[in-house]
């Protein structure tokens, strides 16, 4: 039945086209100038009038033919669809709009403040030699983790060992002299009691003993100094940390005046992050910080995608930058996995507060228009309604809803372009990667 109807319509269109082509060919083949030259005056006038009338009829016929053909085509599509029992473009309604949806939930909504930060070492020192001499040994690897007291390098100790021997020998020599003068002092005291020597001799010997006691004290100080200088030949780590790049090799002469030193040591466990936040956030932060409530601070990478470490707020600066209106905060991290490096740029996210039993909707469902803030809610009939909402705050992909939604509601998060209130929708399942 459908094929027969299509053939009939095609035949009608061919007949109309052939008639139009025939009329057009006849008009083009007629030499109307020749007709005008050869005909009498009254016939010329009549011929001219006939020509004008023919052109008008031809133009009218073309419009009629074209319009009739269009109407025939439309009628043919409608007839075909009716005979086939299918939904035609004239009969078929608008298809449902595909959308992505997500449910509104109830949970804990964190109030977060973000700031740009820099990782700073708790301590950093340039390890230098405390004595002059030849660097005998370098006992560390670049980038090595060391503990306090670990041996890092050795300066040639022979010169300082000799100084220790000299100081110890001088001390022993003076100690022997002191011993001798103390014996003499005891003898002088006995003789003085026997009235065998003068009081002056006894006092002179006592002063001589005190003199040598002072010499012994000086000798002990010299020995201690020599021993200290000798200990400086062994360069050790002053605290736990990570060593940097070696700045001098074994065999070189090192001096206390060398500014570069041997290597730089930084403490990385624990480590700090110094970041800034707008000063208008300070009152809420101070209220919780002064109450002694720990405030977690997450350190993100530069793209704000991956959490590198989680620490706690340690201190707040005592001034606000008058130029930028920002205030500095410092967070402490254990850095057990050594993922944070000194001078590394990170994004810091401070949790100021946590709101329990909050109504949480996806932030990408929030729309703004002339009617205010609203969302598209999917009904049980798979239609959408534009529902006004009142926001409490937006954090990342979450938004706190104060008014307008209840837990369990389904909101549109993708496919807003062609949506209108009351439109039919087709829910597209979300894919996970």
What residue has token string 């949790």?
Answer: 351
Q: Is the peptide bond before 318 cis (omega within 30 degrees of 0)?
A: no
Q: What is the pLDDT of residue 417?
A: 82
Nearest to 139 by CA among 125, 162, 159, 155: 155
Longest Cα pair distance anywhere in the chain, in angstroms? 190
CB 258 within 8 A of CB 128: yes
Residue 423 lies in a domain: yes
Q: Are residues 104 and 69 in the same domain?
A: no
What does 232-278 look like in DSSP terms, one character per residue? TTEEE-SSSEEE----S-TTSEE-TT-SS-SEEEE--SSEEEEEEEE
Half-sphere exposure of 217 (CA within 13 A, CB side): 6
Other beta carbons less than 10 A from residue 281's beta carbon: 17
Helices (H) and strands (E) in the chain, counts: 6, 22
Instruction: Assess if residue 28 is contained within a domain.
Output: yes
CA distances from 106 to 50, 100, 161, 395 (A): 87, 20, 75, 15
- Give CA–CA dist 308/349, Å, rounded: 11
Q: 316: exposed, middle or buried (C-beta count within 10 Å: 0-12, 13-18, 19+)?
A: middle
Does residue 151 contact residue 235 with C-beta atoms inside 8 Å? yes
Note whether residue 14 is domain-resident: yes
Contacts of residue 373, Cβ cutoff 8 Å, sequence gap at least 6: 366, 367, 388, 389, 390, 391
What is residue 110's predicted lDDT score, i.e. its pLDDT?
Answer: 86
Residue 229, domain member (yes or no)? no
pLDDT in tens, the chain (433 residues): 444 455 666 666 676 666 666 656 665 566 555 555 554 544 444 445 444 555 555 555 554 455 554 544 445 444 444 444 444 444 456 788 899 999 999 999 988 899 999 999 999 999 999 999 999 999 999 999 999 999 999 999 999 999 999 999 999 999 999 999 999 999 999 998 998 889 999 999 999 999 999 999 999 999 999 999 999 999 999 999 999 999 999 999 999 999 899 999 999 999 999 999 999 989 989 989 998 889 999 999 988 889 999 999 999 999 999 999 999 999 999 999 999 999 999 999 999 888 889 999 999 999 998 879 999 999 999 999 999 999 988 887 889 999 999 999 999 999 888 888 889 999 888 764 4
Residue 182 lies in a domain: no
How many angstroms separate the CA atoms of 360 and 96, rounded?
28
Q: How many Cα atoms within 13 Å fall on the side-chain side of residue 409?
A: 25
Q: Both 370 and 418 in a single domain?
A: yes
Task: Kindly state whether residues 61 and 105 are assigned to the same domain.
Answer: no
Report the number of distinct structural domains present in the chain.
2
Please, are residues 118 and 274 in contact by the beta-carbon 8 Å criterion?
yes
Q: Which two tokens stand for residue 331?
A: 């967070």
Residues 223-232, buried b or exposed e (16+ Cβ, 10 A)? beebeebbeb
Q: Assess whether 35 and 105 both reside in one domain.
A: no
CB neighbours of residue 127 within 10 Å:
19
DSSP string, 55-96: HHHHHHHHHHHHHHHHHHHHHHHHHHHHHHTPPPTTT--PPP
Q: What is the CATH number of the domain that holds 388?
A: 2.40.420.20
> How high is the pLDDT of residue 86?
46
Its domain, for residue 53, covers 2-84
Residue that has been written with the tokens 């708790």 in this structure:
122
Q: In this structure, how many other beta carbons lie within 10 angstroms of the beta carbon of residue 200? A: 8
DSSP collapsed to 3 states, 299-349: EECCCCCCEEEEEEEEEEEEEECCCCCEEEEEEEECCCCCCCCCCCEEEEE
In a domain, 104, yes or no: yes
d(CA 353, CA 83): 68
Instruction: Evaluate whether residue 413 is within a structural domain.
Output: yes
Q: Please check whether residue 130 lies inside any domain of the structure.
A: no
Tokens 């405030």 correspond to what residue?
Answer: 295
What is the C-alpha to C-alpha distance for residues 400 and 114, in angstroms, rounded to an integer?
A: 17
Reading the block at residue 118, the tokens are 């820099």
Tell me: do 21 and 62 sit in the same domain. Answer: yes
């Amino acid at each position: 039945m459908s094929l027969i109807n299509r053939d009939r319509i095609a035949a009608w269109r061919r007949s109309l086209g052939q008639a139009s082509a025939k009329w057009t060919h006849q008009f083009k083949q007629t030499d109307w100038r020749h007709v005008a030259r050869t005909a009498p005056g009254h016939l010329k006038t009549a011929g001219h009038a006939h020509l004008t009338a023919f052109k008008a009829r031809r133009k009218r016929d073309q419009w009629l033919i074209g319009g009739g053909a269009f109407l025939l085509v439309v009628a043919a599509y409608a007839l075909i669809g009716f005979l086939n029992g299918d939904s035609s473009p004239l009969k078929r309604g608008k298809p449902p709009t595909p959308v992505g949806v997500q449910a509104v939930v109830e949970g804990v909504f964190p109030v977060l403040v973000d700031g740009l930060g820099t990782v700073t070492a708790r301590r950093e020192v340039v390890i230098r030699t405390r004595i002059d001499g030849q660097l005998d040994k370098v006992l560390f690897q670049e980038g090595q983790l060391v503990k306090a007291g670990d041996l890092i390098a050795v300066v040639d100790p022979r010169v300082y060992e000799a100084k220790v021997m000299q100081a110890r020998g001088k001390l022993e020599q003076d100690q022997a002299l002191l011993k001798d003068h103390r014996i003499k002092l005891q003898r002088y005291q006995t003789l003085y009691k026997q009235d065998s020597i003068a009081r002056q001799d006894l006092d002179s010997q006592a002063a001589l003993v005190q003199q040598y006691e002072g010499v012994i004290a000086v000798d002990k100080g010299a020995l201690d100094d020599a021993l200290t200088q000798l200990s400086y030949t062994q360069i050790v780590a002053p605290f736990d940390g990570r060593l940097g790049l070696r700045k001098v090799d074994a065999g070189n002469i090192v001096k206390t005046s060398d500014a570069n030193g041997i290597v730089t040591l930084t403490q990385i466990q624990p480590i700090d992050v110094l970041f800034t936040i707008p000063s208008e956030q300070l009152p809420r932060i101070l209220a919780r910080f002064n109450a002694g409530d720990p405030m977690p601070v997450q350190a993100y990478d530069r793209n704000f995608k991956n959490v590198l470490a989680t620490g706690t707020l340690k201190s707040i600066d005592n001034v606000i930058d008058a130029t930028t209106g920002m205030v500095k905060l410092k967070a402490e991290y254990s850095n057990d996995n050594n993922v944070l490096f000194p001078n590394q740029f990170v994004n810091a996210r401070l949790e100021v507060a946590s709101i329990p039993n909050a109504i949480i909707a996806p932030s990408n469902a929030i729309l703004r228009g002339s009617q205010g803030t609203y969302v598209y809610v999917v009904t049980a009939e798979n239609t959408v309604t534009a529902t006004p909402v009142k926001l409490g705050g937006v954090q990342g992909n979450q938004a706190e809803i104060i008014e307008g939604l209840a837990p369990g509601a389904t909101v549109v998060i993708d496919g807003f372009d062609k949506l209108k209130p009351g439109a039919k929708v087709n829910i597209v399942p979300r894919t996970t990667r």
